[in-house]
Structure 1
Amino acid sequence: MGSAGEAGWQKTKLNTVVRYRNRGKYDYETVHKLIDECPLLHVSFGSGGNSNGGSNDGDDESPSYPVILPMLGCTGIFPAREDWGYDGSDDDGSRYIYLHGYYQSACNYRSVVAFGHATLVEDPEERLYAMELITNNLVPERWENTRYPSAAEMKATGIIRIEVDSASAKIRTGTTGEARSDLQDEEMKSRVWAGVVPVHTVFGEPVPAPTNTFKGVPAYISDWAREATIQSEEYAYAASEK
């Protein structure tokens, strides 16, 4: 059950949040809400041996990898049918997750799938290099403008390096792709809107922490937030017209 008597999943070895356990939620309402509000779900599954998930063109000699796919989806319960012999009396609030969606609706996207092998980074200098690289990739100049990690933090933080064996990118841009039969159906075209709603990231005005004593907002943060927002919007609209 979820916390405070809320309906939810039992905490098990499989689903229990290990790091920062106080942040974990197991109730149906929270989990279902997050899934339904997310425009894209990442679905992971094992490839089941030497399948196309881990090989090229059925090459049985290629290694097998787990697979993750970006998919459209949401939660739901199909209404009970009398001929199934189910009256809904034992409904506990759990739902199924349905994936993929309607054929004639699509999204523009950019994605990368990289296959490789992971190694824990042990060299102290390489660990610092990776930390700085990752931090500044998120917010440029952040590493130089924050405190150095403590010895305890360094010890508790693992850095993983992946040697990429193979990778590919998949990108969809442009407007709708209409079936020829739909283009010839004037009645349908007159009642169905067709087009693209551009989606882009907007970084808001920085909000200082209650403990912050720094006066104002550093230029490297405000400049980054503004430029990143502009670039994201420009790409979204350009991608909808290609």
Structure 2
Amino acid sequence: MLHVSFNDPNSPFPAVLPMIGQMGSFERPSADLGDVLELYLHGYVSSRIINLTRASPEGIPLTIAASHIDGLVLALTPNSHSLNYRSAILFGHATLVTSTPEKLYAMELITNGIVPSRWSHTRVPPNAAEMQSTSVLRVKIATGSAKLRSGMPHDERGDMEDEELQKRVWTGVVPVWQTMGEPVAGPYNKVGEVPGYLREYRVGANEEAEALAGEQLKE
């Protein structure tokens, strides 16, 4: 889940929206995260951010933030408590995607970003009404930053020398990771078993999330 912030000239406050997005490159579809990519976001055709972008062909400035918690860091004193986390912030300008091929590319990219291979296991391509009601933004990234915290608690020297305090207060890290539960069939589902691609993704993603939380225990 991304949090996208922008300025609305009709509001005294910056706006922040939770949105779904995915990094990619329509011009270079084989590019990976080691290359310079663009960010694709999708939204309802008449939403505020889409309307603002439509009115600004040169693009509107956006700040996009994402964060993930890997552990609760419990120290001797409240001030030394922390979180193990990974976070990133991107700054760029959003323009409206008008090309149908690029729009379909972005929609497939975002769908498969939720569950790999999901696009090809649904009714595709979207029909005319779905294409008309959905808009896609392409964000050209200007700059960005990343920040993370890993490892164990770190307390002040004075507290570390207080043996009685150390015997009284438990310190350490509670690992945190997101777990996907067993898929629950919808009311009109007629597929007998959970598809293999979904089952395998759920198991693999859970294992990877637990392993990553464990890795963040290291300094």
TM above 0.5, one fold?
yes
- TM-score normalized with structure 2 length: 0.64
What is the CA-CA distance between 1:217 and the residue it aligns to?
0.7
Counterpart of 1:231 in structure 2 is 208
Question: Separation in 1 of the partners of 2:213 and 2:151?
Answer: 10
User: Residues 81-230 of structure 1: matches in 2 within 5 Å?
Assistant: 102-148=78-124, 149-230=126-207
Report how many residues are paired.
Answer: 151
What is the CA-CA distance between 1:103 and the residue it aligns to?
2.3
Structure 2: runs of 5 or more not aligned? 1-10, 13-60, 70-77
Question: Separation in 2 of the partners of 1:230 and 1:201?
Answer: 10
Contact 2:63–2:92 (Cα < 8 Å) also in 1: no
Q: Secondary structure of 2:88's match?
A: strand
The structure that has the greater radius of gyration is: 1
Counterpart of 1:83 in structure 2 is none
Residues 196-237 of structure 1: CA distance to partner in whole angstroms, max 9, x if unpaired? 000011111111101000120100000000000000001101
Residues 123-159 of structure 1: CA distance to partner in whole angstroms, max 9, x if unpaired? 1000000011111111000001011222111111111
Contact 2:65–2:88 (Cα < 8 Å) also in 1: no
Question: Separation in 1 of the partners of 2:204 and 2:179?
Answer: 10
Contact 2:88–2:147 (Cα < 8 Å) also in 1: yes
Q: Kindly tell me: are residues 239 and 144 of structure 1, through their superposed partners in 2, closer, same or farther at Cα, counting changes over 3 Å?
A: same
Q: CA RMSD in A?
A: 2.3
Equivalent position amino acid for 2:200 in 1: D
Question: Separation in 1 of the partners of 2:95 and 2:109?
Answer: 17
Larger RCO, structures 1/2 (Cα 8 Å, 6+ apart): 2
Question: Separation in 1 of the partners of 2:177 and 2:113?
Answer: 19
Structure 1: runs of 5 or more not aligned? 1-12, 15-63, 73-101
Q: Secondary structure of 2:174's match?
A: coil
Q: Secondary structure of 1:211's match?
A: coil
- TM-score normalized with structure 1 length: 0.58
Q: Percent identity?
A: 42
Residues 149-197 of structure 1: CA distance to partner in whole angstroms, max 9, x if unpaired? 2211111111111100001111111111122111111121111111000
Question: Separation in 1 of the partners of 2:218 and 2:168?
Answer: 22
Equivalent position amino acid for 1:160 in 2: L
Runs of 4+ in 1 over 3 A off after TM superposition: 64-70
